[in-house]
Amino acid sequence: MSTEAILSGSPAPRQSLSITTGRDRARRTKQWLAFMMLRGAILVVAAALVVIVGFLLVNGISSLSLSFLTEAPRNNMTEGGIWPCILGTLLLSLGAMAVALPLGVASAIYLHEYALPGRLMRVIRLGVNNLAGVPSVVFGLFGLGLFVTAMGLGVSLAAGWLTLGALCLPVIIGTTEEALRSVPATYREASLALGGTKWQTIWRVVLPSALPGILTGSILGISRAAGETAAIMFTAAVFYTPKMPNSIFSDVMALPYHIYVLATAGTEIEKTRPIQYGTALVLIALVLGMNLFAIILRAWLQRRGHR
Amino acid sequence: MRRSTKEILIKRAFLATAVTSLAVLALIMIFLFMEGLPTFSFVSVKDFLFGFDWYPTDEANPAYGILPLIAASGSVTALSSLLAIPLGVMTAVYLAEIASPRVRAVVKPVVEMLASLPSVVIGFFGMVVMAPFLQDFFDIPIGLNLSNAALMLAFMSVPTIASVSEDAIYAVPRDLKEASFALGATHLETLLRVTLPAALSGIGTAVILGMSRAIGETMVVLMVAGGAAVIPKSLWSPVRPMPASIAAEMAEAPFRGHHYHALFATAMVLFLVTLLFNILADYFSHKHQQSGAASL
Protein backbone atom coordinates (compact mmCIF):
# COMPACT_ATOMS: atom_id res chain seq x y z
CA MET A 1 0.00 0.00 0.00
CA SER A 2 1.42 3.38 -0.94
CA THR A 3 2.01 6.20 1.49
CA GLU A 4 -0.44 8.25 -0.58
CA ALA A 5 -3.17 5.86 0.40
CA ILE A 6 -2.13 5.81 4.02
CA LEU A 7 -1.98 9.56 4.34
CA SER A 8 -5.18 10.19 2.49
CA GLY A 9 -7.05 8.14 5.04
CA SER A 10 -7.39 4.61 3.78
CA PRO A 11 -7.41 1.87 6.40
CA ALA A 12 -4.34 1.52 8.58
CA PRO A 13 -1.27 -0.02 7.02
CA ARG A 14 -1.64 -3.72 7.44
CA GLN A 15 1.30 -5.54 8.86
CA SER A 16 0.96 -8.25 6.30
CA LEU A 17 4.33 -9.80 6.98
CA SER A 18 3.82 -10.34 10.66
CA ILE A 19 1.32 -12.62 12.21
CA THR A 20 -1.68 -10.73 13.48
CA THR A 21 -1.62 -10.90 17.24
CA GLY A 22 -4.25 -9.93 19.76
CA ARG A 23 -2.34 -6.78 20.50
CA ASP A 24 -2.48 -5.70 16.85
CA ARG A 25 -6.18 -6.27 16.81
CA ALA A 26 -6.58 -4.15 19.93
CA ARG A 27 -4.58 -1.37 18.31
CA ARG A 28 -6.72 -1.48 15.22
CA THR A 29 -9.93 -1.50 17.23
CA LYS A 30 -8.70 1.49 19.19
CA GLN A 31 -7.97 3.32 15.96
CA TRP A 32 -11.36 2.43 14.55
CA LEU A 33 -13.06 3.77 17.70
CA ALA A 34 -11.01 6.98 17.66
CA PHE A 35 -11.79 7.64 14.01
CA MET A 36 -15.45 7.02 14.68
CA MET A 37 -15.30 9.72 17.35
CA LEU A 38 -13.78 12.11 14.81
CA ARG A 39 -16.59 11.32 12.40
CA GLY A 40 -18.98 12.01 15.26
CA ALA A 41 -17.45 15.46 15.74
CA ILE A 42 -17.94 16.25 12.06
CA LEU A 43 -21.54 15.14 12.31
CA VAL A 44 -22.14 17.48 15.25
CA VAL A 45 -20.68 20.42 13.33
CA ALA A 46 -22.65 19.63 10.19
CA ALA A 47 -25.80 19.05 12.24
CA ALA A 48 -25.46 22.49 13.83
CA LEU A 49 -25.54 24.15 10.42
CA VAL A 50 -28.34 21.95 9.13
CA VAL A 51 -30.49 22.43 12.24
CA ILE A 52 -30.11 26.23 12.31
CA VAL A 53 -30.68 26.71 8.59
CA GLY A 54 -33.42 24.08 8.45
CA PHE A 55 -35.23 25.56 11.41
CA LEU A 56 -35.27 29.04 9.90
CA LEU A 57 -36.32 27.63 6.55
CA VAL A 58 -39.26 25.70 7.99
CA ASN A 59 -40.48 28.60 10.09
CA GLY A 60 -39.60 31.46 7.80
CA ILE A 61 -40.71 30.23 4.42
CA SER A 62 -44.38 30.97 5.05
CA SER A 63 -43.66 34.65 5.75
CA LEU A 64 -41.90 35.13 2.46
CA SER A 65 -43.89 36.74 -0.28
CA LEU A 66 -43.33 39.37 -2.90
CA SER A 67 -44.96 42.01 -0.75
CA PHE A 68 -42.84 40.99 2.26
CA LEU A 69 -39.73 41.67 0.21
CA THR A 70 -40.90 44.88 -1.46
CA GLU A 71 -43.01 46.74 1.11
CA ALA A 72 -42.13 48.88 4.10
CA PRO A 73 -43.08 47.86 7.65
CA ARG A 74 -46.54 49.04 8.72
CA ASN A 75 -48.48 49.43 11.89
CA ASN A 76 -45.64 49.83 14.36
CA MET A 77 -43.58 47.19 12.54
CA THR A 78 -46.08 44.42 13.27
CA GLU A 79 -47.16 44.11 9.65
CA GLY A 80 -45.85 44.79 6.19
CA GLY A 81 -42.52 43.97 4.63
CA ILE A 82 -38.82 44.50 5.13
CA TRP A 83 -37.76 46.28 1.93
CA PRO A 84 -36.09 49.24 3.72
CA CYS A 85 -33.98 46.75 5.72
CA ILE A 86 -32.93 44.84 2.60
CA LEU A 87 -32.00 48.08 0.86
CA GLY A 88 -30.16 49.35 3.93
CA THR A 89 -28.15 46.15 4.29
CA LEU A 90 -27.24 46.15 0.58
CA LEU A 91 -26.18 49.80 0.71
CA LEU A 92 -24.18 49.30 3.90
CA SER A 93 -22.31 46.21 2.77
CA LEU A 94 -21.57 47.42 -0.76
CA GLY A 95 -20.42 50.82 0.52
CA ALA A 96 -18.22 49.17 3.15
CA MET A 97 -16.62 47.15 0.39
CA ALA A 98 -16.02 50.29 -1.67
CA VAL A 99 -14.08 51.62 1.33
CA ALA A 100 -12.21 48.43 2.24
CA LEU A 101 -11.43 46.97 -1.17
CA PRO A 102 -9.00 49.59 -2.58
CA LEU A 103 -7.27 50.00 0.78
CA GLY A 104 -7.12 46.27 1.47
CA VAL A 105 -5.91 45.26 -1.98
CA ALA A 106 -3.25 47.98 -2.01
CA SER A 107 -2.04 46.99 1.47
CA ALA A 108 -1.86 43.35 0.44
CA ILE A 109 0.10 44.26 -2.72
CA TYR A 110 2.59 46.14 -0.59
CA LEU A 111 2.89 43.34 1.95
CA HIS A 112 3.30 40.60 -0.62
CA GLU A 113 5.02 42.21 -3.60
CA TYR A 114 7.12 45.05 -2.22
CA ALA A 115 7.89 44.63 1.45
CA LEU A 116 11.12 42.99 2.45
CA PRO A 117 10.94 41.01 5.67
CA GLY A 118 11.94 43.30 8.48
CA ARG A 119 10.69 45.09 11.52
CA LEU A 120 8.21 47.41 9.75
CA MET A 121 6.74 44.44 7.89
CA ARG A 122 6.43 42.49 11.15
CA VAL A 123 4.66 45.42 12.86
CA ILE A 124 2.25 45.95 9.94
CA ARG A 125 1.40 42.27 9.89
CA LEU A 126 0.85 42.21 13.63
CA GLY A 127 -1.39 45.24 13.20
CA VAL A 128 -3.45 43.55 10.50
CA ASN A 129 -3.80 40.36 12.55
CA ASN A 130 -4.85 42.30 15.61
CA LEU A 131 -7.34 44.34 13.63
CA ALA A 132 -8.94 41.06 12.57
CA GLY A 133 -9.32 40.12 16.22
CA VAL A 134 -10.86 43.32 17.54
CA PRO A 135 -14.47 42.60 18.63
CA SER A 136 -17.08 44.15 16.37
CA VAL A 137 -18.71 46.00 19.27
CA VAL A 138 -15.40 47.78 19.81
CA PHE A 139 -15.44 48.77 16.14
CA GLY A 140 -18.94 50.09 16.80
CA LEU A 141 -17.75 52.27 19.68
CA PHE A 142 -14.77 53.44 17.62
CA GLY A 143 -17.15 54.41 14.81
CA LEU A 144 -19.34 56.21 17.31
CA GLY A 145 -16.37 58.09 18.76
CA LEU A 146 -14.63 59.00 15.50
CA PHE A 147 -17.11 59.07 12.62
CA VAL A 148 -20.44 59.79 14.31
CA THR A 149 -19.24 62.26 16.93
CA ALA A 150 -15.78 63.67 16.18
CA MET A 151 -16.27 63.90 12.42
CA GLY A 152 -19.90 64.91 12.85
CA LEU A 153 -21.34 62.44 10.37
CA GLY A 154 -24.09 61.48 12.77
CA VAL A 155 -25.81 58.09 12.66
CA SER A 156 -25.58 57.70 8.91
CA LEU A 157 -24.76 55.51 5.95
CA ALA A 158 -21.37 57.23 5.66
CA ALA A 159 -20.45 56.48 9.27
CA GLY A 160 -21.60 52.89 8.78
CA TRP A 161 -19.52 52.50 5.62
CA LEU A 162 -16.35 53.70 7.31
CA THR A 163 -16.92 51.53 10.40
CA LEU A 164 -17.74 48.41 8.41
CA GLY A 165 -14.93 49.23 6.00
CA ALA A 166 -12.42 49.16 8.87
CA LEU A 167 -13.99 45.88 10.04
CA CYS A 168 -13.63 44.25 6.60
CA LEU A 169 -10.12 45.53 5.94
CA PRO A 170 -8.29 42.54 7.46
CA VAL A 171 -10.56 40.10 5.60
CA ILE A 172 -9.70 41.73 2.28
CA ILE A 173 -5.99 41.95 3.07
CA GLY A 174 -5.88 38.28 4.08
CA THR A 175 -7.70 36.91 1.04
CA THR A 176 -5.85 39.18 -1.40
CA GLU A 177 -2.50 38.10 -0.03
CA GLU A 178 -3.54 34.50 -0.46
CA ALA A 179 -4.53 35.23 -4.06
CA LEU A 180 -1.17 36.91 -4.71
CA ARG A 181 0.66 33.98 -3.16
CA SER A 182 -1.03 31.61 -5.57
CA VAL A 183 0.38 33.46 -8.62
CA PRO A 184 3.47 31.43 -9.65
CA ALA A 185 6.81 33.23 -9.29
CA THR A 186 7.65 32.23 -12.87
CA TYR A 187 4.96 34.63 -14.13
CA ARG A 188 6.69 37.53 -12.43
CA GLU A 189 10.11 36.41 -13.58
CA ALA A 190 8.94 36.10 -17.18
CA SER A 191 7.59 39.62 -17.13
CA LEU A 192 10.71 41.05 -15.50
CA ALA A 193 12.89 39.17 -18.00
CA LEU A 194 11.03 40.88 -20.81
CA GLY A 195 12.05 44.21 -19.33
CA GLY A 196 8.81 45.02 -17.49
CA THR A 197 9.17 47.16 -14.39
CA LYS A 198 7.91 46.01 -11.02
CA TRP A 199 4.70 48.01 -11.38
CA GLN A 200 4.09 46.85 -14.96
CA THR A 201 4.56 43.28 -13.76
CA ILE A 202 2.08 43.75 -10.93
CA TRP A 203 -0.49 45.59 -13.04
CA ARG A 204 -0.36 43.49 -16.22
CA VAL A 205 0.65 40.06 -14.94
CA VAL A 206 0.14 39.50 -11.22
CA LEU A 207 -3.16 41.29 -10.66
CA PRO A 208 -4.99 39.72 -13.63
CA SER A 209 -4.08 36.23 -12.42
CA ALA A 210 -4.95 37.09 -8.82
CA LEU A 211 -8.20 38.83 -9.73
CA PRO A 212 -10.54 35.86 -9.25
CA GLY A 213 -9.11 35.22 -5.79
CA ILE A 214 -9.53 38.87 -4.89
CA LEU A 215 -13.10 38.67 -6.14
CA THR A 216 -13.76 35.69 -3.86
CA GLY A 217 -12.37 37.70 -0.95
CA SER A 218 -14.56 40.68 -1.66
CA ILE A 219 -17.67 38.52 -1.81
CA LEU A 220 -16.76 37.11 1.61
CA GLY A 221 -16.17 40.67 2.84
CA ILE A 222 -19.58 41.81 1.64
CA SER A 223 -21.25 38.86 3.32
CA ARG A 224 -19.45 39.59 6.58
CA ALA A 225 -20.53 43.24 6.44
CA ALA A 226 -24.11 42.25 5.61
CA GLY A 227 -24.45 40.05 8.69
CA GLU A 228 -22.73 42.44 11.08
CA THR A 229 -24.90 43.95 13.79
CA ALA A 230 -22.87 45.29 16.68
CA ALA A 231 -20.75 47.57 14.48
CA ILE A 232 -23.75 49.33 12.94
CA MET A 233 -26.08 49.64 15.90
CA PHE A 234 -24.45 52.88 17.08
CA THR A 235 -23.19 54.13 13.74
CA ALA A 236 -25.73 53.59 10.97
CA ALA A 237 -28.80 51.53 11.80
CA VAL A 238 -31.96 52.77 13.45
CA PHE A 239 -34.94 51.04 15.01
CA TYR A 240 -37.38 52.44 12.49
CA THR A 241 -37.35 55.20 9.92
CA PRO A 242 -40.27 56.06 7.69
CA LYS A 243 -38.16 57.55 4.92
CA MET A 244 -35.92 55.74 2.49
CA PRO A 245 -32.23 56.70 2.49
CA ASN A 246 -31.74 59.69 0.17
CA SER A 247 -28.19 60.80 0.96
CA ILE A 248 -25.05 59.43 2.54
CA PHE A 249 -26.07 61.19 5.76
CA SER A 250 -29.36 59.31 6.06
CA ASP A 251 -29.77 56.72 8.77
CA VAL A 252 -31.01 53.36 7.54
CA MET A 253 -32.75 50.18 8.67
CA ALA A 254 -30.79 46.94 8.30
CA LEU A 255 -31.73 43.25 8.32
CA PRO A 256 -29.59 42.10 11.27
CA TYR A 257 -30.60 45.01 13.45
CA HIS A 258 -34.25 44.52 12.49
CA ILE A 259 -34.10 40.91 13.73
CA TYR A 260 -32.47 41.99 16.96
CA VAL A 261 -34.94 44.79 17.61
CA LEU A 262 -38.04 42.73 16.84
CA ALA A 263 -36.81 39.73 18.83
CA THR A 264 -35.80 41.63 21.96
CA ALA A 265 -37.09 45.15 22.22
CA GLY A 266 -40.43 45.23 20.43
CA THR A 267 -43.60 45.55 22.41
CA GLU A 268 -45.13 42.63 20.58
CA ILE A 269 -42.37 40.07 20.39
CA GLU A 270 -44.71 37.08 19.98
CA LYS A 271 -46.92 38.77 17.40
CA THR A 272 -43.99 39.69 15.16
CA ARG A 273 -42.42 36.20 15.26
CA PRO A 274 -43.31 35.46 11.62
CA ILE A 275 -41.59 38.70 10.54
CA GLN A 276 -38.55 37.78 12.62
CA TYR A 277 -38.32 34.34 11.03
CA GLY A 278 -38.81 35.81 7.58
CA THR A 279 -36.14 38.47 8.12
CA ALA A 280 -33.67 35.94 9.49
CA LEU A 281 -34.32 33.69 6.51
CA VAL A 282 -33.73 36.53 4.05
CA LEU A 283 -30.51 37.45 5.85
CA ILE A 284 -29.04 33.95 5.87
CA ALA A 285 -30.13 33.39 2.29
CA LEU A 286 -28.22 36.54 1.38
CA VAL A 287 -25.14 35.69 3.45
CA LEU A 288 -24.94 31.95 2.79
CA GLY A 289 -25.77 32.52 -0.88
CA MET A 290 -22.80 34.85 -1.23
CA ASN A 291 -20.56 32.44 0.66
CA LEU A 292 -21.63 29.47 -1.38
CA PHE A 293 -20.97 31.47 -4.53
CA ALA A 294 -17.50 32.38 -3.26
CA ILE A 295 -16.75 28.75 -2.31
CA ILE A 296 -17.87 27.44 -5.70
CA LEU A 297 -15.91 30.18 -7.47
CA ARG A 298 -12.81 29.23 -5.51
CA ALA A 299 -13.20 25.51 -6.21
CA TRP A 300 -13.66 26.22 -9.90
CA LEU A 301 -10.57 28.44 -9.94
CA GLN A 302 -8.48 25.85 -8.16
CA ARG A 303 -9.51 23.21 -10.67
CA ARG A 304 -8.67 25.56 -13.52
CA GLY A 305 -5.34 26.35 -11.90
CA HIS A 306 -4.34 22.69 -11.70
CA ARG A 307 -4.79 22.08 -15.40
CA MET B 1 8.44 61.29 -15.71
CA ARG B 2 11.35 58.92 -15.49
CA ARG B 3 10.46 55.32 -15.22
CA SER B 4 12.33 54.76 -11.97
CA THR B 5 10.80 57.81 -10.30
CA LYS B 6 7.37 56.50 -11.14
CA GLU B 7 8.23 53.11 -9.70
CA ILE B 8 9.40 54.67 -6.46
CA LEU B 9 6.26 56.80 -6.16
CA ILE B 10 4.07 53.77 -6.70
CA LYS B 11 5.95 51.84 -4.05
CA ARG B 12 5.57 54.72 -1.60
CA ALA B 13 1.83 54.88 -2.28
CA PHE B 14 1.44 51.19 -1.51
CA LEU B 15 3.46 51.56 1.68
CA ALA B 16 1.18 54.39 2.73
CA THR B 17 -1.94 52.25 2.33
CA ALA B 18 -0.33 49.36 4.18
CA VAL B 19 0.38 51.66 7.08
CA THR B 20 -3.30 52.71 7.05
CA SER B 21 -4.38 49.48 8.69
CA LEU B 22 -1.93 50.20 11.47
CA ALA B 23 -3.37 53.69 11.68
CA VAL B 24 -6.90 52.29 12.02
CA LEU B 25 -5.76 50.10 14.88
CA ALA B 26 -4.05 53.09 16.49
CA LEU B 27 -7.15 55.26 16.01
CA ILE B 28 -9.35 52.60 17.61
CA MET B 29 -7.09 52.64 20.62
CA ILE B 30 -6.92 56.44 20.76
CA PHE B 31 -10.68 56.87 20.63
CA LEU B 32 -11.38 54.12 23.14
CA PHE B 33 -8.89 55.60 25.58
CA MET B 34 -10.03 59.16 24.94
CA GLU B 35 -13.61 58.32 25.84
CA GLY B 36 -12.78 55.60 28.37
CA LEU B 37 -10.08 57.13 30.55
CA PRO B 38 -12.31 59.93 31.99
CA THR B 39 -14.04 57.09 33.85
CA PHE B 40 -11.17 57.00 36.29
CA SER B 41 -11.90 60.55 37.40
CA PHE B 42 -15.03 59.34 39.21
CA VAL B 43 -14.12 55.75 40.02
CA SER B 44 -10.72 54.27 40.84
CA VAL B 45 -9.18 51.63 38.59
CA LYS B 46 -9.41 49.12 41.44
CA ASP B 47 -13.09 49.83 42.13
CA PHE B 48 -13.83 49.69 38.42
CA LEU B 49 -12.15 46.35 37.76
CA PHE B 50 -12.94 44.68 41.06
CA GLY B 51 -16.17 46.35 42.14
CA PHE B 52 -19.02 43.90 42.66
CA ASP B 53 -21.82 46.29 41.75
CA TRP B 54 -22.76 47.51 38.31
CA TYR B 55 -25.61 50.02 38.80
CA PRO B 56 -24.68 52.74 36.30
CA THR B 57 -28.21 54.11 36.01
CA ASP B 58 -28.94 54.40 39.73
CA GLU B 59 -29.51 58.11 40.20
CA ALA B 60 -28.82 58.44 43.88
CA ASN B 61 -25.96 56.01 44.17
CA PRO B 62 -24.50 54.83 40.87
CA ALA B 63 -21.90 52.04 41.03
CA TYR B 64 -19.42 51.26 38.28
CA GLY B 65 -17.83 47.93 39.22
CA ILE B 66 -17.45 45.62 36.22
CA LEU B 67 -16.29 42.50 38.04
CA PRO B 68 -19.66 40.80 37.37
CA LEU B 69 -19.27 41.58 33.66
CA ILE B 70 -15.69 40.31 33.59
CA ALA B 71 -16.71 37.17 35.49
CA ALA B 72 -19.55 36.64 33.02
CA SER B 73 -17.28 37.04 29.99
CA GLY B 74 -14.71 34.73 31.55
CA SER B 75 -17.15 32.00 32.49
CA VAL B 76 -19.04 32.07 29.19
CA THR B 77 -15.79 31.95 27.22
CA ALA B 78 -14.31 29.18 29.37
CA LEU B 79 -17.42 27.03 29.14
CA SER B 80 -17.74 27.52 25.40
CA SER B 81 -14.05 26.66 24.94
CA LEU B 82 -14.63 23.43 26.83
CA LEU B 83 -17.04 22.46 24.05
CA ALA B 84 -15.38 24.18 21.11
CA ILE B 85 -11.77 23.09 21.57
CA PRO B 86 -12.34 19.31 21.35
CA LEU B 87 -14.94 19.72 18.63
CA GLY B 88 -12.80 22.12 16.59
CA VAL B 89 -9.58 20.14 16.91
CA MET B 90 -11.35 16.86 16.11
CA THR B 91 -12.89 18.47 13.04
CA ALA B 92 -9.46 19.70 11.98
CA VAL B 93 -7.85 16.27 12.46
CA TYR B 94 -10.62 14.64 10.47
CA LEU B 95 -10.31 17.14 7.63
CA ALA B 96 -6.52 17.08 7.46
CA GLU B 97 -5.86 13.39 8.02
CA ILE B 98 -8.83 11.11 7.67
CA ALA B 99 -11.29 12.54 5.18
CA SER B 100 -11.15 11.39 1.58
CA PRO B 101 -10.90 14.25 -0.92
CA ARG B 102 -14.56 13.85 -1.77
CA VAL B 103 -15.76 14.06 1.86
CA ARG B 104 -13.38 16.96 2.43
CA ALA B 105 -14.88 18.85 -0.50
CA VAL B 106 -18.25 18.70 1.26
CA VAL B 107 -17.27 19.10 4.92
CA LYS B 108 -14.89 22.04 4.50
CA PRO B 109 -17.56 24.30 2.95
CA VAL B 110 -19.95 23.26 5.73
CA VAL B 111 -17.44 24.47 8.34
CA GLU B 112 -16.94 27.70 6.39
CA MET B 113 -20.68 28.28 6.11
CA LEU B 114 -21.02 27.77 9.86
CA ALA B 115 -18.34 30.46 10.29
CA SER B 116 -20.26 32.83 8.08
CA LEU B 117 -23.64 32.56 9.84
CA PRO B 118 -24.42 36.06 11.14
CA SER B 119 -24.14 36.17 14.91
CA VAL B 120 -27.56 37.75 15.24
CA VAL B 121 -29.07 34.67 13.59
CA ILE B 122 -27.28 32.34 16.02
CA GLY B 123 -28.48 34.55 18.87
CA PHE B 124 -32.02 34.40 17.51
CA PHE B 125 -31.80 30.60 17.31
CA GLY B 126 -30.58 30.49 20.91
CA MET B 127 -33.52 32.63 22.00
CA VAL B 128 -36.38 30.93 20.23
CA VAL B 129 -35.19 27.31 20.13
CA MET B 130 -32.48 26.57 22.66
CA ALA B 131 -33.89 28.64 25.52
CA PRO B 132 -37.33 26.98 25.66
CA PHE B 133 -35.68 23.59 25.14
CA LEU B 134 -33.27 24.05 28.05
CA GLN B 135 -36.05 25.41 30.22
CA ASP B 136 -38.25 22.36 29.66
CA PHE B 137 -35.54 19.74 29.57
CA PHE B 138 -33.66 20.79 32.70
CA ASP B 139 -36.65 22.33 34.43
CA ILE B 140 -34.96 25.67 35.10
CA PRO B 141 -36.62 29.07 35.54
CA ILE B 142 -34.79 30.89 32.70
CA GLY B 143 -33.58 29.44 29.42
CA LEU B 144 -31.50 32.53 28.64
CA ASN B 145 -28.41 31.84 30.71
CA LEU B 146 -24.70 31.14 30.87
CA SER B 147 -24.92 27.62 29.42
CA ASN B 148 -27.09 28.62 26.51
CA ALA B 149 -24.75 31.47 25.59
CA ALA B 150 -21.70 29.21 25.91
CA LEU B 151 -23.31 26.61 23.67
CA MET B 152 -24.13 29.16 20.96
CA LEU B 153 -20.67 30.74 21.23
CA ALA B 154 -19.06 27.32 20.89
CA PHE B 155 -20.57 26.96 17.44
CA MET B 156 -19.11 30.33 16.51
CA SER B 157 -15.57 29.47 17.58
CA VAL B 158 -15.49 25.90 16.24
CA PRO B 159 -14.90 27.03 12.63
CA THR B 160 -12.05 29.34 13.68
CA ILE B 161 -10.38 26.63 15.76
CA ALA B 162 -10.95 24.01 13.06
CA SER B 163 -9.58 25.95 10.12
CA VAL B 164 -6.48 27.30 11.87
CA SER B 165 -5.64 23.90 13.43
CA GLU B 166 -6.21 22.18 10.10
CA ASP B 167 -3.57 24.36 8.47
CA ALA B 168 -1.17 23.50 11.27
CA ILE B 169 -1.81 19.76 11.02
CA TYR B 170 -1.56 19.91 7.26
CA ALA B 171 1.81 21.63 7.48
CA VAL B 172 3.46 18.86 9.51
CA PRO B 173 6.29 17.52 7.35
CA ARG B 174 5.43 14.31 5.64
CA ASP B 175 8.67 12.52 6.39
CA LEU B 176 7.84 12.65 10.09
CA LYS B 177 4.67 10.69 9.51
CA GLU B 178 6.36 8.32 7.10
CA ALA B 179 9.07 7.58 9.62
CA SER B 180 6.41 6.70 12.16
CA PHE B 181 4.59 4.45 9.70
CA ALA B 182 7.86 2.79 8.83
CA LEU B 183 8.35 1.89 12.48
CA GLY B 184 5.05 0.05 12.34
CA ALA B 185 2.86 2.59 14.16
CA THR B 186 -0.79 2.68 13.20
CA HIS B 187 -2.35 5.81 11.79
CA LEU B 188 -3.86 6.69 15.17
CA GLU B 189 -0.56 6.19 17.00
CA THR B 190 1.20 8.37 14.43
CA LEU B 191 -1.47 10.99 14.84
CA LEU B 192 -1.29 11.10 18.64
CA ARG B 193 2.46 10.77 19.10
CA VAL B 194 3.88 12.49 16.01
CA THR B 195 1.48 14.65 14.03
CA LEU B 196 -0.42 16.37 16.85
CA PRO B 197 2.68 17.12 18.98
CA ALA B 198 4.37 18.59 15.89
CA ALA B 199 1.31 20.76 15.18
CA LEU B 200 0.78 21.75 18.80
CA SER B 201 1.87 25.38 18.48
CA GLY B 202 -0.49 25.91 15.55
CA ILE B 203 -3.31 24.29 17.48
CA GLY B 204 -2.49 26.56 20.42
CA THR B 205 -2.78 29.57 18.13
CA ALA B 206 -6.11 28.25 16.87
CA VAL B 207 -7.46 27.83 20.38
CA ILE B 208 -6.43 31.34 21.41
CA LEU B 209 -7.99 32.84 18.29
CA GLY B 210 -11.19 30.87 18.91
CA MET B 211 -11.37 32.08 22.50
CA SER B 212 -10.68 35.62 21.37
CA ARG B 213 -13.60 35.39 18.99
CA ALA B 214 -15.85 34.04 21.76
CA ILE B 215 -14.96 36.71 24.31
CA GLY B 216 -15.61 39.57 21.88
CA GLU B 217 -18.76 38.19 20.31
CA THR B 218 -21.61 40.53 21.05
CA MET B 219 -24.97 39.67 19.56
CA VAL B 220 -25.09 36.11 20.90
CA VAL B 221 -24.40 37.10 24.50
CA LEU B 222 -26.62 40.15 24.17
CA MET B 223 -29.60 38.04 23.12
CA VAL B 224 -29.00 34.76 24.92
CA ALA B 225 -26.98 35.25 28.12
CA GLY B 226 -29.88 36.59 30.19
CA GLY B 227 -28.49 40.00 31.06
CA ALA B 228 -28.19 39.95 34.86
CA ALA B 229 -25.11 41.86 36.01
CA VAL B 230 -24.26 39.56 38.92
CA ILE B 231 -21.44 37.10 39.53
CA PRO B 232 -22.67 33.77 38.07
CA LYS B 233 -23.52 31.20 40.74
CA SER B 234 -24.30 28.20 38.55
CA LEU B 235 -24.32 27.09 34.95
CA TRP B 236 -27.94 28.21 34.75
CA SER B 237 -27.38 31.75 36.01
CA PRO B 238 -28.33 34.57 33.70
CA VAL B 239 -25.21 36.66 33.10
CA ARG B 240 -24.17 39.88 31.39
CA PRO B 241 -20.80 39.64 29.63
CA MET B 242 -18.91 42.86 28.76
CA PRO B 243 -19.92 43.11 25.09
CA ALA B 244 -23.59 42.60 25.98
CA SER B 245 -23.43 45.35 28.55
CA ILE B 246 -21.87 47.78 26.09
CA ALA B 247 -24.32 47.01 23.30
CA ALA B 248 -27.39 47.07 25.52
CA GLU B 249 -26.63 50.25 27.44
CA MET B 250 -24.83 52.46 24.93
CA ALA B 251 -28.04 53.70 23.33
CA GLU B 252 -29.45 54.90 26.65
CA ALA B 253 -26.26 56.29 28.17
CA PRO B 254 -26.30 60.11 28.10
CA PHE B 255 -23.60 61.45 25.77
CA ARG B 256 -20.28 61.92 27.61
CA GLY B 257 -21.94 61.20 30.96
CA HIS B 258 -20.43 58.91 33.58
CA HIS B 259 -22.27 55.87 32.24
CA TYR B 260 -21.05 56.59 28.68
CA HIS B 261 -17.44 56.83 29.80
CA ALA B 262 -17.75 53.70 31.92
CA LEU B 263 -18.98 51.77 28.88
CA PHE B 264 -16.03 52.97 26.82
CA ALA B 265 -13.75 51.92 29.66
CA THR B 266 -15.39 48.47 29.57
CA ALA B 267 -14.69 48.34 25.84
CA MET B 268 -11.10 49.30 26.64
CA VAL B 269 -10.79 46.28 28.90
CA LEU B 270 -12.34 44.07 26.22
CA PHE B 271 -10.01 45.52 23.57
CA LEU B 272 -6.93 44.98 25.71
CA VAL B 273 -7.94 41.39 26.48
CA THR B 274 -8.44 40.52 22.81
CA LEU B 275 -5.24 42.37 21.89
CA LEU B 276 -3.40 40.26 24.46
CA PHE B 277 -4.95 37.08 23.03
CA ASN B 278 -3.94 38.04 19.51
CA ILE B 279 -0.39 38.97 20.42
CA LEU B 280 -0.15 35.69 22.32
CA ALA B 281 -1.41 33.81 19.26
CA ASP B 282 1.08 35.64 17.07
CA TYR B 283 3.88 34.84 19.50
CA PHE B 284 2.98 31.14 19.55
CA SER B 285 2.85 30.87 15.80
CA HIS B 286 6.21 32.60 15.34
CA LYS B 287 8.26 31.30 18.23
CA HIS B 288 7.35 27.67 17.98
CA GLN B 289 7.03 27.39 14.27
CA GLN B 290 7.63 23.83 13.15
CA SER B 291 10.09 24.08 10.31
CA GLY B 292 11.04 20.63 9.20
CA ALA B 293 12.03 17.66 11.27
CA ALA B 294 15.16 19.28 12.65
CA SER B 295 13.40 21.51 15.18
CA LEU B 296 11.52 18.70 16.87
Q: Is residue B153 part of a domain?
A: yes
Please list every residue in chain B whose beta carbon sits closer than 8 Å to the beta carbon of residue A110. 11, 14-15, 17-18
Q: What is the CATH number of the domain that holds B181?
A: 1.10.3720.10
Residue B62 has pLDDT above 50, yes or no: yes
Q: Tell me, yes or no, if A117 comes closer than 8 A to chain B by beta carbon.
A: no
Question: Which spans in chain B are helix H?
Answer: 3-36, 45-50, 67-93, 101-116, 119-125, 131-137, 146-170, 174-182, 187-190, 196-216, 219-224, 242-249, 258-287
Domains and CATH numbers, chain A: 66-306 (1.10.3720.10)
Residue B166, in any domain of the structure: yes
- The answer on pLDDT for B158 being more than 80 is yes
- A292 chain-B contacts, CB cut-off 8 A: 109, 113
For residues B267-293, give the mean pLDDT: 80
pLDDT of residue A266: 65
Q: Is B155 on the interface with A (CB under 8 A)?
A: yes
- Mean pLDDT in residue range A206-225: 90
Q: What is the mean pLDDT of chain A?
A: 86
Residue B121 has pLDDT above 80, yes or no: yes
Task: Evaluate whether residue B261 is within a structural domain.
Answer: yes
Nearest residue on chain B to A54, alpha-carbon basis: B125
- Compare all CA atoms of chain A with the CA of B253 and give the residue at the minimum distance: A234
- For residue A10, name the pLDDT band (cuts at 50, 70, 90): very low
- Is A263 near chain B, with CB under 8 Å? yes
pTM for the model stands at 0.88
The average pLDDT across B126-131 equals 92
Q: How far apart are CA A4 and CA A13, in angstroms?
A: 11
Letter for the amino acid at B284? F
B246 touches chain A (CB under 8 A): yes
Range of the domain at B119: 45-295
> Residue range B92-113: average pLDDT?
89
State the nearest Cα–Cα gap between A73 and chain B, in angstroms.
20
Contact between B267 and A52 using a beta-carbon 8 Å cutoff: no
Percent of chain A at pLDDT > 90 equals 49
Q: Among A130-134, A192-196, B123-127, which is the least confidently predicted range? A: A130-134
Give me the number of domains chain B comprises. Answer: 1
ipTM of this complex prediction, to 2 decimal places: 0.89
- B63 domain residue, yes or no: yes
Calculate the dihedral angle through the C-alpha atoms of B278, B284, B290, B291, rounding to the nearest 10 degrees.
70
